[in-house]
Structure 1
């Protein structure tokens, strides 16, 4: 065994020992009542006002919003499902929304759900202004005429029932937490109405949630009493855990391993279309990526079909730009590039780029597809005299680097995006609208004309969707033509779950979220 393999084996053994210790803790409490997720990433922020990352998987089991988005299929249309609100109505001008709240709901501290709690939650989220707080931008006032009735006044017509279904920044939380700071939530405290509450939180290791007595919604027979999120960044270990029964659910397993897992009668491999696109944001603030033709050349060198074949075993589909299929505003005829190394070489020559250019691409250590895409792209770029250094990083470290000084950051930031709520605005605003301080526009792209179209389309979304859709598509086409990013692949949602789990469905509107209250063993 060579030194590299010896070190890898040693590390995996140590990780397995740690995971076994955590599993023994769970077993001591009764494994049949515990739903264990081998989750590939950690949870940077558990504050319901500012959470805007993978932590949504935890918060979706602890908190609830007024509504929930239910996607359609070949037979049914998408719909908005009542949650903390039972009904809503909108004025003729689309600027006043009235929600009737569900009676008998209590927060985890025992206080009742009221219109004042809804008002205070959203106002705290707006005041902090972090994460996805932008979704409440059109709200100019919130009125509470009755304990179970809340009225929103908007600056322009917007689909507030859809906005309220967002997987981030739409959570309603107890008034007792309004004066708490971010550190209070990230110490493992919570203030939700959901079926579970946080009982133990070890950052970077695990989050344990216990069932709340008296939850308002239906609880299935044999329901789980505890959720254990085990943070397992090594995909080999995650696969070992799901195969051995130490975990009930996982994802991000390499696609080439799925066929063998499908043959395992103890596992269900659930594959569905997703709303996730894998893309690489070009650092437009750093030479020579500040030149459009250089970025176009890099996109022409990307091996799109090879990534779908090798990286997703043919399950992925070609990304058509910013907004994936299944969401209104998707541009099926987007002017996307195809792999063409000679055209790429010609563009580089036009810009005077000599062989020897070195670029750094960052991506999350847990994303096997990103690694495959990077290796294949690297091979193509080598034929053009370009060296692409692949830099896998823990997500938090990658994100922090991206949010630093653009001049000192990466050349290409690779990540997935899924919607805050199901609208093209979410993709375009977060990834390509001008930001004074980088958050998710980690290519630092800025085009006032694109900004104006995004803003105008958002204003028209509630009154003139065809015109809004046209503007969103115009903005997308400019982003593609200026090669602000390389749109690599639309990835399917592939989740692996133990076959004795009942009630599991995947909702692509909430990226890699499992609503455990609906499950049983």
Structure 2
């Protein structure tokens, strides 16, 4: 994502996160009836890029069923479960980590996973320098000691067990991929060790996965042989599908639907803690949003209380800064804006903007009723001070591409989106969303402040030795954001998972956001 060295911090203290349905090497074989197929009705595109070293968006829900990592975070024990690793140890100075690997693991191409495969996978991701590859910045060297021992030497102390369990960029890939064309993976191919293989892919619409017969855990017991992840934008459709049993699981339903479904005998509703928050980015490179007073005015014109109460249906808390509640680095004492239209109108006047002069555009992800309602509430309040806000629903990929376009004037004025962590550290928010970058990926406010950057980088590095001082750095960085107002920090949400009563085995965990681990699920 960035070509600079990032300081990956040690923050073992707060991995209080909360995911899901936590033969031959070529086919799943046989046929599946409806009871053998899991169906996930998802509200957006299931995956944007099939390259596991690159994908840094919705594809987390697919790739975590096709590929595996060395470790996986366990929300119950707050420790790491062994996946492709069977043990690990670190040196007393925290600079050398040695992992023992599981024997008998096969890739989907039939080849055996070894230390060389781990070395290849991580080095490949490092070299890509895109997506979440920055998580491996602490790694100086990787050695395959023998077939089932791999050693990492770090530039500085960092929590490599946490890194090795990340939901992005930590996947182990078959070295046979290097014999394929450079864009083979991106074209919709895969070669992992996970329980499921890609069966079919309708890009942007539907992914069908079939069981990998040679999966190292085996297929004894109850497991789904196939899984379908289908883009289903309409919330009413997702609700009806789960109620009728046409889908097994969904999320991101409107709060009124969640409330109504709690009394249904056909479904189960689980409300889970989340590190996901809703942010509205201002295009700080485009007039008049390049004016701090205008951004401050628009921040005061936001209906925070109603967004939480009506748009989120109470399944959220107003954000205080960009770091969500529950994550270290969150600051309850930070400035908390509230709706003040008189203040907003006064600031616009100071900026030389008269009532009726300002017209802005806002995009949000189609299929998300909470975002839609939030945008409409904002539009209503802005109209009271003479600001015309055009709100437009777009597929996520479309609005993201518009925001990353090279023509500043063609980018939307305001982009609303959710952020969830790639790593369970405040750095995930502070770095990805607002750290200076030449080519925007998720800094969709195009914000740049050297003092802010320094605080964030220092905070991340200090986290390995002084967590309290690191937290102060992140809080000070947020103070700058709340002064410059490159975005509106709307709310920190809770996740509402809706499952059909016939589905068993599903457990939500925000360490792997929105992921359903289908292997762990079964039909009751």
1:383-462 to 2 correspondence within 5 Å?
A: 383-405=384-406, 406-462=408-464
The Cα shift of 1:181 comes to: 5.0
CA contact (8 A) 1:201 1:207 kept: yes
Matched, 1:62 2:66: yes
1:338 counterpart residue number: 338
**SS of aligned partner of 2:507:** coil
**Per-residue deviation at 1:46?**
1.4
CA offsets per residue over residues 322-343 of structure 1, 9 Å max, x none?
1112222222222121111122
Other-structure match for 1:255: 255
Tell me: CA distance 1:125–1:181, structure 2 relative to 1, closer, same or farther (3 Å): farther
TM-score (ref. length: structure 1)? 0.91
User: Structure 1: how far apart are the matches of 2:313 and 2:182?
Assistant: 42
Q: CA RMSD in A?
A: 1.6
Q: 1:220–1:320: structure 2 CA closer, same or farther, 3 Å change rule?
A: farther
Q: 1:220·1:519 contact (CA, 8 Å) conserved in 2?
A: no
Moved more, 278-287 or 310-319: 310-319
Q: Which runs of 5+ in 1 are unaligned?
A: 1-27
Aligned to 2:510: 508
Deviation, 1:179, is 4.3
2:11 aligned partner: none
- Aligned twin of 2:177: 177
Equivalences for residues 465-480 of structure 1 within 5 A: 465-480=467-482
Match status 1:38 vs 2:41: yes
Residues in 1 aligned to 2:220 and 2:359: alpha-carbon distance in whole angstroms: 56
- Of residues 388-397 and 319-328 in structure 1, the stretch that sits farther from structure 2 once superposed is 319-328
TM-superposed CA distance for 1:110, in Å, is: 1.7
> What is the match of residue 50 of structure 1?
54
Contact 1:266 1:498 in 2 (8 A): yes
Take 1:202 and 1:216, find their aligned partners in 2: how far apart are those partners?
28
Provide the rounded CA distance (Å) in 2 between the counterparts of 1:500 and 1:348. 55
Preserved CA contact (<8 Å) 2:258 2:496: no
Write the deviation string for residues 120-147 of structure 1: whole angstroms up to 9, x where unpaired: 0011111122211111112121111121
Whether contact under 8 Å (1:256, 1:312) holds in the other structure is: no
**Larger helix share, 1 or 2:** 1
User: For residues 152 and 88 of structure 1, what CA distance do their matches in structure 2 show?
Assistant: 11
TM-score where L is the length of structure 2 = 0.90
Asked if the contact 1:94–1:462 (Cα under 8 Å) also holds between the matched residues in 2, the reply is no
Please give the alpha-carbon distance, in whole angstroms, between the structure 2 residues aligned to 1:296 and 1:219. Answer: 57
- Quick one: structure 1 residues 236 and 186, their matched pair in 2 at CA, closer, same or farther if it must change by over 3 Å? farther
Report deviation, 1:80.
Answer: 2.3
What secondary structure sits across from 2:63 in the alignment?
helix
Matched residues, number: 490
Distance in 1 between residues matched to 2:220 and 2:354, nearest whole Å: 64
Alignment of 1:262-277 (within 5 A): 262-277=262-277
In structure 2, list runs of 5 or more residues that go unmatched: 1-30
Q: Secondary structure at the match of 1:131?
A: coil
CA deviation after TM superposition for structure 1 residue 383, in Å: 1.1
Tell me the CA shift for residue 219 of structure 1: 5.1
Q: What is the alpha-carbon distance in structure 2 between the residues aligned to residue 409 and residue 505 of structure 1?
A: 39
Pairing of 1:65-76 with structure 2 (within 5 A): 65-71=69-75
1:365–1:182 CA distance, 2 compared to 1 (3 A): farther
Ranked by relative contact order (alpha carbons within 8 Å, sequence separation 6 or more), the top structure is 2
User: Shift of residue 320 of structure 1?
Assistant: 1.6
Q: Cα offset for 1:362? A: 0.8
